[in-house]
Structure 1
Amino acid sequence: MLPLALVAVAAVRHRDVLAEGFGQVATARPPWLLAAVGATCLTWVAAAVTRQGAVVERLPARRLLATQFAAGAANHLLPSGLGASAVNLRFMTVCGLPLARSSAALALYLLAESVGRVGLLAGLLIAFPGALRLGPLLPAGTVGPLLLGIGAAAVGAAAALLCVRRLRTAVASFLRTTLGEARSVHSRPSRALALWGGALAFPALQATALVAVGRALSLGVPPWHMAVAYLAATVAVALIPTPGGVGSVEAALIVALVAAGGPPAAATAVVLAFRLITVWLPLPPGAMTLGALVRLKVI
């Protein structure tokens, strides 16, 4: 709840900018908004392709696609993507995969998605080194504490593994299962292509949706710079445990777009419209789909 509270305080402090941003949303050009809707719909297809690539067995395609749509709604009930992970884990076990292999496939999907997102960001930063000014994103004096916190977390995790034998045994068993699943998947070129192709397509389509919204509202930031801003913001908020990234994603995206050269009010309008298209409009039908899949025992 703490990140949500901090975002609420920031929203109250900058309510004039938010009000101006809401006013600009009404001036958006419909064709570009429709393009953003289309890109958003394709993200569920990309997620389904990646999920299929993480397992050797063939999953029922229609149910898999419906599960990805429903997982978006579940993602707003639990923090840091746990809702979507729980839905997909249940789906794979209902399809007959043992729990250990389902968990390994889930870990493989999360790894591929993270590598795809960070790799795409790194590639764009190499191609467009001036796309993002890090000064507004990382104020002076924050790099040291950030690295210290990451290092402390890593040391704490390593100490727990070394000191707790039962935990060490469980982690070792899980890693063996995951590595075995990864070898099986990569022994089939079609599965490997689906896994890594979908992992790259998913963040690329999300960035495309943001670019389309930016064009709809005439943000004035080059498309590649908007894509870099989106990827940088989502990578930065990955460790903030708010359900569905509500609040944290909006704040990070606004800061990133301003860092890329966008006016604050226009950047706010773009982020509000983008989150409306990608999160809030699909939420009611996604929740109904989730309920239907539970009743039909698909999950």
Structure 2
Amino acid sequence: MRKDVVPVSSPSPLPPLSPPAGPPPCPPARRVSLPAARPVRLVLCLSPVLLAGCWALADRPVASEGASRLAAADPGWLLAGAALTCLTWVAAACVRQGSLPDKLPPGLLLASQFAAGAANHVLPGGLGAHAVTLRFLRARGVPLDRATASIGLYSLARSVTRTLVLLAFLAACPARRRLGELVPDGPVPVPAAAVAGGALAVAGVLLTVVPPVRRPVTGLVRAALADARAVHGRPCRVLALWGGSAAMPLVQAGTLVCVGTSLGLGLPWEQVVLAHLAAGTAVGAVPAPGGLAVDAALVWTLVSFGAVPAVAAATVIGHRVLNDWLPLLPGALTLSALIRARAL
């Protein structure tokens, strides 16, 4: 007997699921430049120029007196002093390059050192120049620890070579005996040594007891030692580091010699150089913007060597105008241009 085959109907396909109710998905966000960021960036770029203007207005009597004295000076010697001032930035750029194994662009490096001079009028003790250089090295891709170690090697080389040059002039110049009159009587080195010893003791305790302080300092020391070995393994870096460090105080003192000769200071050039080195070494660590403490000590030293007080003061003012005030506005503009070009 044949059984009827009952056809089995295939299941109907499921209807498509309807999208869930709700707002449609948001399109991917696009990067939109905020118009409000442009004025802020413009203010940051022009801030060095504004600070330079405020500084000039605050010390207007000093600037006007120095300009009046320089107007009656010998222009030939002033041009020679201006040329030596330009060599100061070249020497600083050489020392910066010599303190780092990486190759830096020479033009931007020289421009950064020119702009660093304007920054020194805002932050004391050379911190402005170090801050500009640190931003410049970071923009070139140098890690933070190696950039900081480079600044430390730069400062160490300058301090060591300046001391050696001062000792050489003390040994060769007979006027060194007059410097003893400038040292105040009394146990002055004892408090200074106590303060230095206390600072070293506190730093040692912090490095020993506090691990969050010890780790970055240890890494910084390792980076500094590694870069110092790499730098001193290349003769061109050694020449740039130590040769530039020795040239910087001599070039700066040469500018003072030119200004003093133009004003008729009446001292031999070796005494003027010795006065500049001694005054800068004695009070160079005083945190005063623009080197005001160094200027006061320099006038005092020149007078002790036999210069007329009025001429000595005019010489120091002229040196400050020629070395700092004339390049101040161009340096601030260069700093602003480097910020706008994202080189810092």
* TM-score bin (small chain): 0.7 to 0.9
Partner deviation per Cα, 1:30-79 (whole Å, 9 max, x = no partner): 11111111100000001111111111121111111111100000111111
Q: Which residue of 1 aligns with 2:227?
A: 181
Answer yes or no: is 1:220 the counterpart of 2:257. no
Answer yes or no: is 1:235 the counterpart of 2:285. no
Q: Max radius of gyration: which structure?
A: 2
**Equivalent pair of 1:22/1:269 in contact (CA under 8 Å):** no
**Structure 1's 21 and 97: CA in aligned 2 closer, same or farther, altered over 3 A?**
closer
**Structure 1's 45 and 152: CA in aligned 2 closer, same or farther, altered over 3 A?**
same
SS in 2 for 1:183: helix
Match of 1:68 among 103, 110, 113: 113
Partner deviation per Cα, 1:162-221 (whole Å, 9 max, x = no partner): 343332332222111101000001111111111111111111100110111111111111
- Partners of 2:281 and 2:206 in 1: CA distance: 26
- Partners of 1:148 and 1:138 in 2: CA distance: 19
Q: What's the C-alpha RMSD, in Å, of the aligned pairs?
A: 2.3
- If asked which structure has higher relative contact order (CA below 8 Å, sep 6+), I would say 1
- Residue 155 of structure 1 and its aligned partner are, at CA, apart by 3.4
**Equivalent pair of 2:67/2:321 in contact (CA under 8 Å):** no
Match of 1:278 among 306, 318, 323: 323
**Structure 1, 144-153 or 56-65: larger mean CA deviation:** 144-153
- Partners of 2:90 and 2:302 in 1: CA distance: 27
- Partners of 2:304 and 2:167 in 1: CA distance: 17
Q: Which residue of 2 aligns with 1:5?
A: none
Correspondences of 1:105-184 after superposition (within 5 Å) = 105-131=150-176, 133-141=178-186, 142-184=188-230
TM superposition score normalised by structure 2: 0.77
**Equivalent pair of 2:66/2:318 in contact (CA under 8 Å):** no
**Structure 1's 150 and 225: CA in aligned 2 closer, same or farther, altered over 3 A?**
farther
SS in 1 for 2:289: coil
User: Which residue identity does 2:318 align to in structure 1?
Assistant: A
Q: Which residue of 1 aligns with 2:82?
A: 37
- Residue 21 of structure 1 and its aligned partner are, at CA, apart by 8.3
- Residue 237 of structure 1 and its aligned partner are, at CA, apart by 2.0
User: Which residue identity does 2:112 align to in structure 1?
Assistant: T
- Partners of 2:265 and 2:197 in 1: CA distance: 38
Give unmatched runs, 5+ long, in structure 1: 1-14
TM superposition score normalised by structure 1: 0.88
**Equivalent pair of 2:145/2:219 in contact (CA under 8 Å):** no
- Residue 129 of structure 1 and its aligned partner are, at CA, apart by 4.4
User: Which residue identity does 2:94 align to in structure 1?
Assistant: V
SS in 1 for 2:176: coil
User: Which residue identity does 1:37 align to in structure 2?
Assistant: A
User: Which residue identity does 2:234 align to in structure 1?
Assistant: R
- Residue 22 of structure 1 and its aligned partner are, at CA, apart by 8.0
**Equivalent pair of 2:178/2:304 in contact (CA under 8 Å):** yes
- Residue 248 of structure 1 and its aligned partner are, at CA, apart by 1.1
Q: Which residue of 2 aligns with 1:254?
A: 299
**Structure 1's 148 and 138: CA in aligned 2 closer, same or farther, altered over 3 A?**
farther
Answer yes or no: is 1:95 the counterpart of 2:146. no
User: Which residue identity does 1:294 align to in structure 2?
Assistant: I
Give unmatched runs, 5+ long, in structure 2: 1-60
User: Which residue identity does 2:113 align to in structure 1?
Assistant: Q
**Structure 1's 260 and 143: CA in aligned 2 closer, same or farther, altered over 3 A?**
farther
- Partners of 2:164 and 2:178 in 1: CA distance: 19
Identity, in percent, stands at 49
Deviation above 6 Å: which 4+ runs of structure 1? Answer: 19-23
Partner deviation per Cα, 1:134-162 (whole Å, 9 max, x = no partner): 34422111344334433333333334333
User: Which residue identity does 1:139 align to in structure 2?
Assistant: P
**Structure 1, 91-100 or 131-140: larger mean CA deviation:** 131-140
- Partners of 2:321 and 2:65 in 1: CA distance: 16
Q: Which residue of 1 aligns with 2:26?
A: none
Answer yes or no: is 1:292 the counterpart of 2:334. no
User: Which residue identity does 2:233 align to in structure 1?
Assistant: S
Q: Which residue of 2 aligns with 1:104?
A: 149
User: Which residue identity does 1:149 align to in structure 2?
Assistant: V
- Partners of 2:153 and 2:65 in 1: CA distance: 43
Answer yes or no: is 1:208 the counterpart of 2:254. yes
